[in-house]
Each structure stands twice: as C-alpha cells, then as structure tokens.
Amino acid sequence: MSTLHEKNETVQADIIGLTHDGEGVGRTSAGYTLFIPNTLPGEQVEAKILKSKKQYGYAKVTEFKNVSEQRVEPPCPIYKECGGCQLQHFDYEGQLVWKRQHVIDSLTRIGKLQVAGEQQVSAEGDATSTEHQVIVHPTVGMENPWRYRNKAAVPIGRGESSEELVGGFYAKGSHRIVDMKDCMIQKERNDEVIHQVKEIARELRVLPYDEETGTGILRHVVTRIGVVTGEVMVVLITNTTRIARQPEWIEMIRKRIPNVKSIVHNVNDKVTNAIFGETTKVIWGSEVIYDELDGIRFAISARSFYQVNPEQTISLYRKAVEYAGLTGKEQVIDAYCGIGTISLFLARNAGHVYGVEIVPEAIEDAKRNAKLNGLENTTFEAGPAEIVIPRWKKKGMKADVIVVDPPRKGCDPELLDTILAIRPERVVYVSCNPSTLARDLRLLEDGGYRTVEVTPVDMFPHTGHVEVVTWLERV
C-alpha cells in the first residue's frame, strides 16, 4: 500500500515507464505514483510534488540522480516551454520501441489479446507462429524524423502588452502562447508563411484575440502546403464576420508569399477551444490546393482532413492495402472515407470501392478526387455508415473487405454491429488511438474475427501519438 505525499514535498522517484502522452511514471520508495514530465524509464530523479491525490500525484524534476542512455538534447530552442512535442528528449530509436510497446500494452490490457513474443517474429518481421497470437511488428519510423508536417494551425494572442501580437503553440498545460519563429516538426515553408502572416497582421495593426475577454480579431492562422506541388493555402480565422482592411490583407499575402493559391476566411465567434467556426469563405484564389500521395492527386480544401505527414501516410496506406489482400476483384467499403485518401489507394487494386462519410463536404471532395485520378470504380455517399452500408447490402453489394479509419474515439458501436452483420472476409482497422483500437478489436474478436497482424506507424515523431494499422480476418 502506497503512502500519500504532500504538495511541495521533495521526494526521490524511480521512473518505471511512460504514459500514453509521454510523461514519466515515477514510483517513490513509499510506493506512491507520480507523473513527471521530461523523464525516461530507468532514470532516478529528485522531484517536487505539484499536486497530490490519494492514489497518485504530479511533480516536476528538481535534479536528475541517474540519467538514461537514451536521453538526448532537444534541438528545439523552445522545447521546454512549448506543448507541441513531448519526446524530443528521447532518442528516436527509443521512441519507436516505446510506441510499439504502448500498442502492445493496449492490446493486452484493454483488448485481452495475446501478443507474440519477440522470439516469435523473424528478423524480416514475418510471423513464425500465429496460432492464437497477434503479431505486432516494429514501428515504421522515418529516416529523417524532422520537418514533416504539411499543415500548421497556430493560435494568435496577446503578448505582454495588450496590443502585442504573438503566434505559436500553447505552453505545456496552459493556454499561454509561446511565440514561435521556427518549429522543428513543421515544413520550413509553413514557418515562412506563418512568419509573413504575423508580420502583415502587425503592420495592419490587427488586434489579436484575447481568450479571457473574448475580444480582439485574429484567433488562428492555418497554413497548408502541397509538398509535391508547392501550392500554399492561408486560412485566417477571426472573431468577426468581416476582415478589416481585407483588400490590403490579400495584396500583402499575394506579394510576400510565393505560390499562394488560396486565401480563406473562417469565422469563429464562439467561446470554444475549437479552431474552426462554421462559416468558411474563399476571399481570393482557389477553393482548394493540390497535392500528391504515391502518384494519386488530391484537391484539399480548408476543412479537409488530410494527413499531416505525407511520407508516413504513404507507408500507412500501403500497409492498409497490403492487409486488405486485394486481387482486383474485391468489393471494398471504406467506412470513414473522408476526402477519399484511403479509398483511392484501395481503388487501384480493388474491383470497386464504396466510401461512406458523415460529412457531405468531404464526400464531394472524395468524388472530385476520384474523378481527378480517373478512378471510376468508386462510389461515395454521405451519411452514417451504420445506415448507408445496410442500404448498399440490400441493393446487392457484397463487401469482401471493410476498412475503417475512425477518429480518436474509435468506431461507433452501431458500425461495429453492422460489420459483424455484413461479415466481410477481412477488416482493416486504421487507428490513431491504441486504447480505442484495442476496445473495438475485443468486440470484433468476440463477434467472430481474429486479429492477425498489427503495424504501428510513426506519423508524429517526437510526440506521444502513434498510428496503427490492423488486419483482422473472419474465423
């Protein structure tokens, strides 16, 4: 039984693991658990307790007594303040191993699945024994895990003076904005565009948004970069329905940002943590910019969901296609198709792909993207998957494979029931949350499926996030 420690008490703790957010899990000699940021397994620290609860507490390091061999010096000058990354102090190979273990822990603890031991996976990653055990492959990492993000969403706020405009990322555990000039995980072009937009706002004396009072004008700046095409989109998100001095905004952005193709205004006048509001209007240029993934061209609008790491997205989607086991004849359902990214990867190898998505605008983008690439073996429909898919079945569609890529909360329970009713030969589950993935795998296993293989993909290096693609087959 652990002994409770008090707030402001200084204790020694052994770091025994990491949370899913990358915080160190410390254990004192009295058995008390502390969550301590910027620590790694195997380290021993002296820490000051910031908050104390009955079963656990939160603390910060005051001194390192023993330092892990996997600790590295973060290259980012604002890493200790900024809340954008959590793991820059962890060497990259260590991050990849930890992310795989995080997936394994979720599968075994939440999903109650048996995972093959390391000795049961060959050097090539092939299974040597699959009987009743899930193969979890090594995390697919990046050769250069920096400068990968093609999209930036930067909050704008007030600095020390009431009219000083700053823009960057929130400090850890707060909504205080750390002004940012250079971000190590953003494409350099994003940094350049954000810098120019901030300078224009300062020159035009645009009032930054004040979260506490709900006053001010400019709330966020969002930039999208077409990595292959070089095209740029700038989205100005304001607290007002009109942009003051809009012609000057447009003129200055066009003059200072080469290859800008789209300038968009979004209105968010609500008291909310959400970035976008409901009203979006193109104020200059095209509604979309274009980019390519693995030879497939995509039109991307301001609100489109489009993965932020193009290199790893290709690895992820290729693995999803591999797990689908396509021969060119299958009918495939993509149950959270978005703008059709996975759907079009699948369509190059399938007989026909049916995409369903609850957001009508995304479905229109998906249809446009299919037409853009000449992929006529696709059908897209807006609506809840658990309603649309049974309707397709009544019309005679037989799904050989169902692919799901849900948000962090996982699949809707009704969709899981629909999958079990349709009974495709294979299910491919792409997830950004190992915990909800494991929960849903348990339900699918109980309904007559077997989890065969899992591959973690490091879509977000130096953060606590990991993407996972899973292959299930019908028993």
- Position 308 scores a pLDDT of 96
- Position 128 scores a pLDDT of 44
The domain ranges of the chain are 10-66, 96-143+309-330+400-474, 151-293
Q: How far is CA 36 from CA 19, 23, 41, 73, in A?
A: 10, 6, 11, 18
Strand partners, 121: 127
**Residue of 132 and 178 predicted with greater confidence:** 178
Q: Above 80 in pLDDT, residue 103?
A: yes
Annotated active-site residue 432? The verdict is yes
Sheet (strand 331-334) strand order: 135-136, 449-457, 467-474, 426-431, 401-404, 331-334, 352-357, 378-382
b/e code 384-415 from CB counts within 10 Å (16+ = b): ebbebbeebeeeeeebbbbbbbbeeebbbeeb
Q: How confident is the model at residue 120 (pLDDT cuts 50, 70, 90)?
A: very low
Rounded CA-CA distance 143/137 in Å is 18
- Position 130 scores a pLDDT of 44
Q: Give the mean pLDDT of 401-411.
A: 96
Write out pLDDT tens, residues 11-54: 999 999 999 889 999 999 999 999 999 999 999 999 999 999 98
* CATH code for the part of the protein at 10-66: 2.40.50.140
b/e code 177-210 from CB counts within 10 Å (16+ = b): bbbbeebbbbbebbbbbbebbbebbeeeebbbbe
Q: Which residues 6+ apart lie within 8 Å of 233 measured at CB?
A: 223, 224, 260, 261, 262, 263, 264, 288, 289, 300, 302
Write out pLDDT tens, residues 159-211: 876 668 999 999 887 888 999 999 999 999 999 999 999 999 999 999 999 98
**Architecture of the structural domain at 151-293:** Beta Barrel (2.40)
Q: Above 50 in pLDDT, residue 327?
A: yes
- Position 119 scores a pLDDT of 43
Q: Specify the amino acid at residue 182.
A: D
- Position 53 scores a pLDDT of 92
Q: Are 419 and 444 in contact (CB under 8 A)?
A: yes
- Position 121 scores a pLDDT of 45
Task: Characterize the bridge pairing of strands 135-136 and 449-457.
Answer: parallel
What pTM does this model have?
A: 0.92
Angle at the Cα of 149 (from 405 to 368), degrees rounded to 5? 55
Q: Are 13 and 34 in contact (CB under 8 A)?
A: yes
What mean pLDDT value characterizes the chain? Answer: 94
- Within this chain, domains 10-66 and 151-293 share the same CATH topology: yes
DSSP 8-state code for residue 154: E
Q: Nearest Cα to 137, choosing from 114, 113, 116?
A: 116
